[in-house]
């Protein structure tokens, strides 16, 4: 049996790369005698856009340009050398070559995780229907695992696209989705769909002591004193609200004796910037060494949970339109931890800082770590429960 995975495996984002890696590793453990690989299909326009964004920052002499370039190189090296990719790479904006390749080489294709079912019409958006919907004439067993349509604006869909999406969803043997928004969209439009609400595959990622050791070495090499408290900061300082919050966080935690370490994305408000020095796996493991984390990223939230580190996750005012609450809010709501969520739409920067300090104080009591251990195991078990459905569906191939 040969199983292919289609997802956002090649974008310059630690979490996106790791969800692809974790999904492949979990499926390979489930089917040890099968070939399980990530189909190395890349949209040409996305490849161009990422290089263009870096070049634009360089030409504008932005301070973040050097870090973005190094991060691009670090993540791309990881993707090309460590992800279990198909031997053939297809870079195109149409599906003709990919369709023939999939039909010839795979018995089943797993779509997800990530925002693969988001439909929009921006200049650099993936066209609909794209490869993540597995449109005909692709002819394989279709399974969605932790797929999401997060931020999909239903009222803005072009005429015919909603009915086309529903038609394509009906071809899936199993549909696992990562958030309530996508669950409701599928359930409303395909009531009899074989549908499950499930966690992100990174909850199944095996955390390795050897990688913890490497992450620790990189912290120490950068001048971080592990005997002093560390704040992990995974916030962008390119968005006005987050820049103001970052400045306030830095001054407050610096006065408290914390070392502020920026990871994942460039932020000028830190003592140490490790943005481009950690590969995705090292990035996932470095959270163990933090006493607290503040982030606006979904997978930073997840790896705070995975490493049992107290955290606050931040949404900013214009991230979601209409009544969409977003994937971080959805995750924390499902595990009864919304006190760790902060939407800047509802708070001034000073009020936000007060909320952050309250969550920090709760962590010092010692119960938060125990809660995170329990939640981590619960979500790993929930992901495994979906895998058992996949195993049953593909039995006999």
- Residue reference for tokens 């492949």: 24
Mean pLDDT score, 57-83 = 85
Tell me: pLDDT of 323 over 70: no
Q: What is the pLDDT of residue 186?
A: 95
Tell me: pLDDT of 288 over 80: yes
Tokens representing 173 are 């043997």
Q: How far apart are CA 301 and CA 185, in angstroms?
A: 24
Q: How far apart are the first and last CA of the chain?
A: 6
Mean pLDDT score, 282-303 = 97
For 279-317, b/e burial (b = at least 16 CB within 10 A) is bbbbbbbbbebbbbbbbbbbbbbbbbbbbbbbbbbbbbe
Q: What is the pLDDT of residue 324?
A: 61
Among 20, 9, 63, CA closest to 275: 63
Q: What is the pLDDT of residue 222?
A: 96
Tell me: pLDDT of 56 over 90: no
Q: How far apart are CA 332 and CA 319, in angstroms?
A: 17
Among 84, 202, 76, 61, CA closest to 145: 202
**CATH no., domain 2-203+382-394:** 3.40.50
Q: pLDDT higher for 329 or 325?
A: 329
Q: What is the pLDDT of residue 364?
A: 72
| pLDDT over 70 percentage in the chain | 97
Beta-carbon contacts of 115 under 8 Å, excluding residues fewer than 6 positions away, are 8, 148, 149, 150, 151
DSSP β-bridge partners for residue 273: 262
CATH class of 209-364: alpha beta
Vertex 114, ends 108 and 120: CA angle to 5°? 105
Q: What is the pLDDT of residue 47?
A: 83
Distance of CA 62 to the CA centre of its chain: 26
> Is the full-model pTM beyond 0.85?
yes
Write out the H or E segment, with its range, that includes residue 35: strand 35-43
Tell me: pLDDT of 365 over 80: no
Residue spans per domain, the chain: 2-203+382-394, 209-364
Average pLDDT of the chain?
Answer: 92
Among 211, 207, 221, CA closest to 277: 221
Digit-coded pLDDT (tens) for 184-230: 999 999 999 999 999 999 999 999 999 999 999 999 999 999 999 99
Sheet containing 292-295: order of strands:
272-273, 259-262, 230-234, 292-295, 311-315, 341-343
Beta-carbon contacts of 37 under 8 Å, excluding residues fewer than 6 positions away, are 2, 3, 4, 5, 24, 84, 85, 86
Q: How far apart are CA 83 and CA 5, in angstroms?
A: 12
Mean pLDDT score, 1-21 = 96
In this chain, the answer to whether the domains covering 2-203+382-394 and 209-364 adopt an identical fold is yes
Mean pLDDT score, 362-376 = 87
């Amino acid at each position: 049996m040969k199983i292919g995975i289609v997802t956002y495996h090649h974008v310059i984002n630690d979490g996106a790369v790791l969800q692809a890696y974790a999904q492949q590793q979990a499926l390979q453990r489930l089917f040890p005698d099968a070939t399980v690989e990530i189909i190395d299909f890349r949209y040409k326009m996305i490849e161009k856009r990422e290089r263009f964004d870096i070049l634009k920052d360089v030409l504008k002499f932005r301070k973040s340009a050097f870090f973005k370039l190094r991060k691009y190189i670090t993540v791309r090296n990881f993707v090309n050398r460590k992800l279990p990719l198909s031997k053939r790479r297809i870079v195109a904006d149409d599906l003709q070559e990919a369709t023939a390749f999939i039909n010839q080489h795979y018995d089943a294709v797993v779509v997800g995780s990530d925002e693969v079912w988001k439909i929009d019409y921006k200049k650099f958006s993936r066209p609909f229907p794209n490869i993540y919907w597995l449109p005909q004439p692709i002819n394989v067993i279709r399974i969605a695992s932790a797929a999401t349509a997060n931020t999909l604006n239903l009222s803005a869909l072009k005429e015919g696209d909603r009915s086309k999406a529903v038609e394509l969803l009906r071809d899936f043997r199993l549909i696992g989705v990562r958030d309530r928004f996508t669950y409701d969209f599928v359930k409303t439009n395909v009531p009899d769909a074989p549908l499950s609400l499930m966690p992100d595959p990174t909850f199944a990622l095996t955390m390795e002591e050897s990688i913890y050791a490497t992450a620790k070495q990189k912290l120490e090499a950068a001048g971080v004193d592990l005997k002093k408290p560390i704040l992990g900061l995974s916030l962008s300082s390119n968005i006005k609200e987050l820049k103001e919050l970052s400045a306030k966080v830095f001054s407050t935690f610096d006065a408290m004796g914390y070392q502020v370490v920026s990871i994942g994305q460039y932020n000028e408000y830190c003592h140490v910037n490790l943005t481009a020095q950690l590969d995705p796996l090292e990035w996932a493991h470095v959270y163990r060494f933090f006493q607290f984390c503040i982030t606006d990223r979904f997978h930073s939230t997840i790896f705070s949970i995975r490493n049992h580190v107290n955290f606050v996750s931040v949404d900013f005012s214009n991230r979601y339109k209409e009544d969409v609450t977003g994937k971080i809010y959805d995750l924390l709501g499902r595990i009864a931890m919304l006190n760790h969520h902060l939407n800047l739409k509802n708070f001034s920067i000073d009020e936000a800082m007060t909320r952050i300090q309250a969550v920090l104080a709760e962590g010092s009591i010692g119960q938060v770590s125990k809660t995170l251990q329990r939640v981590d195991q619960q979500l790993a078990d929930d992901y495994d429960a979906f895998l058992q459905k996949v195993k049953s569906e593909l039995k006999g191939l």
